[in-house]
A and B are shown apart, each in its own frame.
Chain A
Amino acid sequence: MNAVLRLALACWLLAIAPLANAGEAAVAVASSLQFAFPELVEEFRSQGGPPVRVNYGASGNFRRQIAQGAPFELFLSADEQSVLALHDAGFTESAGVIYAVGRLSWIQRPGRGALPSDHAPLSAVEAAIATYRDGEGRQRVALANPEHAPYGIAARQALQRAGLWEDSAPLRVMGENVSQAARFALADEARGGLVAYSLALAPSLADQAEHVLVPAGWHAPLHQRMALMRGAGDEARALYQWLEGEQARVILRRFGFQPPDAAEGH
């Protein structure tokens, strides 16, 4: 009987232990920034910025979570629609700004067959389809789920444009977000995948992946928009302003993002 009381006491002590996370900006960040954002935060912090709590995920999922009341203060989406829809529903302070323009790229493990040329970045998909038709194995093609990931939508558009969407159906594996898609693309069973260029350029993937850029005209432009949520704190506000500045641009450019001026007319 004493054992029960002792265990209950231990539980009680665990339950009342303090959890510190006040004074931090809670930020929802699109998975395409999985590698760029830590560097952005590091630079922001080194200039005296407050601590930041970051969550990575698919933009469509964040849109749903914020609409359900998730306590984020700043949302960096990989598209425009997710932010604008939240704005229309009254969740954001403003329509926000485009902070970067993303690009789609093909990535594969080195030695997983010939790397496609710049002119035909989807030739590896065609090769994988041919291999499958000949009954010589099922090499997977990874992309993010187009239902809630902007880079998944871009990948689908590129495949549709090339007339490969139907034929690639038995080969496709869908990541829950674009970062997971990159993981799948570099798995042993995969020929490769269509993911954010920013992930292909990440230093931690440099020796695991080779990549080819997909021409920007092959899919709808990936205008990445961010906005402050209603009730955002000063910490989030400071980060939002800093992200529009030149230092943030330099880091984003290093990860293959084009500056917002590339999104003419917006």
Chain B
Amino acid sequence: MSEALVAAEAAGTGTEPVPAASGARQFWRRLRTQRAALVAAVVVALLVLVAVAAPLLTAIEGQDPTTYHPSLIDSARGGVPIGSFGGISGDHWLGVEPQTGRDLFARLVYGARVSLGVALAATVIQVFLGVVVGVAAALGTGWVDQLLSRLTDIFVALPLMIMSLALLAIVPASFPRPVLVTLVIGFTAWGNISKVVRAQTLTLKGLDYVSAARLSGWGTWRIARRELLPGLAAPVITYAAILVPVNISVEAALSFLGVGVKPPTPSSGQMLTAADVWYQAAPQYLLLPAGALFITVLALTVLGDGVRIALDPRAASRLSAGTGRKREARKEGTA
């Protein structure tokens, strides 16, 4: 996943004035007409459901993600799960982890919980910082704007992966890892969204209704809250929707490198660290976390694309230019 492309795409919706949010209803109607986005939304809803209901699901299975089952692994063969297909049985629906015998199903659903939780919380931090800094830079006088814009540039320049890795080195090991990973991702990758918000705010600032508010003697704070924030909703929501899958990938990558979420807390990326050693004896130990990651990121990306198109009608007609879908898009636009 590329942050730069995300920035470029979101900038496309941010630098030009987007028609102010025309209501949630219209948004849903536009989202509904996109079949792929709809399927993605259902998949995302299911994933969220699994993550939220993880304790319930594992209770039904009768397992938990952290208990070792030494009796289920063959220590003479280096810790390979006993039984066919990596120890799949009525008790362990997806088999057990090599070496420890921890239940794979439980680790997978709890992993989804960690993964989605970290990604969503980090997105909230990024959006908050991006909006605050972006709006402040656009409304601030000369040197405030200079300072904040320069600060933003630094955070755009420093690669998210590298900065996250580096920051993880200096924090004591006693700090709860999922919280730490959330904070690191959240505080590192807010630069692009801040740039988009600043550009959009500058555009809005010049519009008549904002000038009217200023002329009627409204304070900066009130204008920002009542007049600017609603106009920022579309690009910010678009950007947030694109950021969630990026954050999922980064969390998985950090955990894969062994510096993110650490055992016994489960995470898909972390499971993949050792998967290549075991793929012959327990192929699902590789395939399940890889598949879970793939489906999660894919569904969130497609949904993010759908959200972008639903919020920016011009994107829909532009992307389908010259195809049969153009007529559809036009019809939808006037509906």
A and B form one complex? no
Residues of B that sit less than 8 Å from A by CB: none
